[in-house]
Amino acid sequence: MTRRILSLWLPALAMDRWRLAHVDELGGEDDTQPRVLISDTAHGPRIEAANRAGAMAGARRGMMLADARTLCPALLTAPADPAGNLAFLEQLAVWAMRWGPWSAMDPPDGLLVDVTAVPHLFGGEGGLLDDVHAGFARRKLALRSAIAPTAGSAWACAHYGRARTIVDGSRSDDAIRRALSDLPVAALRLDEDVLTVLRRLGIKRIGQLDAIEEEGAGRDAIQRRFRNRRSPAANPLIRLDQLLGRIPEPLLPVVPQQAPLVQRRLMEPIRHRTLLDTVLDDLALDMARELEGKALGARRLELGLWRVDGEVIVRRLEMAAATRDPAHICRLFAARLDDVDAGFGIEMLRLRASWAEPLALAQGDIEAAAEAHGTSLSACIDRLTVRLGAEAVARPVPFASHIPERAQRWHPPLEPEPSSQGLLEFHHRPLKLLDKAEKIAVLYATPDGYPKRFRWRGAVREVARVEGPERIAPEWWRERGSARLRDYYRIEDGAGCRYWIYRQGLIGDGRGGMPDWYLQGLCG
């Protein structure tokens, strides 16, 4: 059976998505004002997409905004969202599987669907295209489409051919040649520099390239010209062979992932907390079995409670490590259900693991004992996070910097530690660093002598012993040129208390006036 590929091209995907997201702002679905979507570049804002009115005013994709505004001063702008467009395209790829067994993304604005042996369900390939266009019209998305035996030929017809082109698949090679011979060579999905070379050679149509390629000497000449181009987009012969079906073109299908979900529909609405906890226990057990069957553990859980009056209450949890322990899940949710207003009653509960990770089977007895005694680190972090908030639990990790206050950063408690070039273990650091170095008044021997006496928090302290200095130069790659070096001293006063102070700058270094002194840490 001849393979049939459906190519879908959404030429106004970015603008259509923006328009659908701002219907209330526009006062309707029509966007009649000239408008463009822009992205920031090193040379200024650049246009990524333009609506119909903007295009009529002269705005084009790739044009700088300043140039477009010389043509249309009233041009409205909005930020482009390429990541959001890609996520939306992925959703469309899953939705497009209604027309075939699998679909693949064709970024940035296209889809490919395998419709082999499917068109008879829609009354033929024409009926299939009618259904496709009706579906996208209901979603208010502009569309061009084509069906052909190969992905390359379908893509070429959708982008450069007549609307709703169907290439006969009975004799695929000849049919593709006839259908695509008049299309420009840009329909081969080649890089811009390759298209420039072909234009200089006088090759503007696919038919011209095909005719040259059929002659043995002509193919050899093109092969020699692009012999170092291994990428399909950089070699017209590879693209032509893919288009004619001589060599396969690998496609990566989109595989939808279903989040584990369990729910309970109650015969009688519940209003009391004890009954709610009982249902939650059942849901947690069901979720644990669901996750265990897929060898997964939940990192994020969403509990939805449907009230009789139609209101939905949602509570979310995010765990430090993947888990499928029902007792742990119930314990965490218990703290989030105290403020739930059941109203006239809750008639349905749904528990969904919106984020799950692979979790292998563990020795249950040992883990259970650890959980019961509260010695599991992940369980402890989860309880602290639920009680104190998601941002309140973190851990310091080393960071490559000589400046003490920059030598560590805060990370999520169980996230992998980022790679670094090693710790500065040959330096001595105080046990306690102040959140912010405090300015002190110091009496010292000029110009670079040791400190003799200093005042900190209203008290004067006589210096008994001094060790240092340890000089730390400014990090020129992070700071301005006016930053001053630091000379650190470990000192001990007459009462035996030890401090870590530093002098910022030197006399006559040309980066300020007299040096300032700061106290940054307390030694043990």
What pLDDT, in 10s, does the model give residues 194-235? 899 888 888 899 888 888 766 666 777 778 888 777 788 888
Decide: 302 and 354 in contact? Cβ < 8 Å. yes
Q: For tokens 């093109």, what's the residue?
A: 222
Q: What is the per-residue pLDDT for 479?
A: 74
Report the distance separating Cα 6 and Cα 128, nearest Å. 10
- Mean pLDDT for 17-32 is 79
Q: What is the per-residue pLDDT for 451?
A: 85
- Mean pLDDT for 121-127 is 93
Q: What is the per-residue pLDDT for 423?
A: 56
pLDDT in tens, 238-259: 998 888 888 888 888 888 888 8
- The band of 366, judged by pLDDT with boundaries at 50, 70 and 90, is low
Decide: 245 and 149 in contact? Cβ < 8 Å. yes
According to DSSP, the residues that pair with 105 across neighbouring strands are 111
Alpha helices in 294-353, H assignment, sequence order? 326-334
Percent of the chain with pLDDT over 90: 33
Q: For tokens 């140039």, what's the residue?
A: 67
Burial class (CB in 10 A: 0-12, 13-18, 19+), 19: buried
The β-bridge relationship of strands 144-148 and 165-166 is parallel
Q: What is the per-residue pLDDT for 222?
A: 79
Closest CA to 55 of 91, 89, 28, 15: 15
- Mean pLDDT for 412-434 is 73
Tokens at residue 79, please? Answer: 């930020």
Q: What is the per-residue pLDDT for 216?
A: 61
Distance of CA 261 to the CA centre of its chain: 24
Q: What is the per-residue pLDDT for 120?
A: 92
- The band of 426, judged by pLDDT with boundaries at 50, 70 and 90, is low
Q: What is the per-residue pLDDT for 29?
A: 64
The H or E element containing residue 145 is strand 144-148
Radius of gyration of the chain (CA): 34
Closest CA to 485 of 443, 516, 519, 456: 516
**Is this model's pTM higher than 0.85 or not?**
no
Judged against a pLDDT cut of 70, whether residue 85 lies above it is answered with: yes
Report the distance separating Cα 394 and Cα 390, nearest Å. 9
Q: What is the per-residue pLDDT for 129?
A: 95
Closest CA to 461 of 492, 504, 429, 437: 492
- The band of 365, judged by pLDDT with boundaries at 50, 70 and 90, is low
More confident residue, 364 or 97: 97
pLDDT averaged over every residue in the chain: 86
Cis ω for the linkage preceding 79 (within 30 of 0): no
Report the distance separating Cα 274 and Cα 467, nearest Å. 65
Judged against a pLDDT cut of 60, whether residue 427 lies above it is answered with: yes
Judged against a pLDDT cut of 60, whether residue 371 lies above it is answered with: no
Q: Terminus-to-terminus CA distance in the chain, angstroms?
A: 81
Report the distance separating Cα 72 and Cα 80, nearest Å. 19
Q: What is the per-residue pLDDT for 189?
A: 92
pLDDT in tens, 159-208: 999 889 999 876 557 778 888 889 999 999 999 888 998 888 888 998 88
Decide: 35 and 54 in contact? Cβ < 8 Å. yes
What amino acid is encoded at 104 in this protein?
A
Output phi, psi for 192, to 5 deg: -65, -35
Q: Could you tell me if residue 510 is left (phi over 0), alpha (psi between -120 and 50 degrees) or otherwise beta?
A: left
Report the distance separating Cα 234 and Cα 225, nearest Å. 11
3-state secondary structure of 11: coil
Q: What is the per-residue pLDDT for 363?
A: 65
Cα dist from 132 to 128, 152, 254, whole Å = 6, 20, 18
Under 8 Å CB-to-CB from 423, ≥6 apart: which residues?
398
pLDDT in tens, 257-292: 888 999 999 988 888 888 999 999 999 999 999 999
According to DSSP, the residues that pair with 35 across neighbouring strands are 76
Helices 236-244 and 206-214 pack at an angle, to 10 degrees, of: 90
- Mean pLDDT for 138-146 is 93
Q: What is the per-residue pLDDT for 156?
A: 93
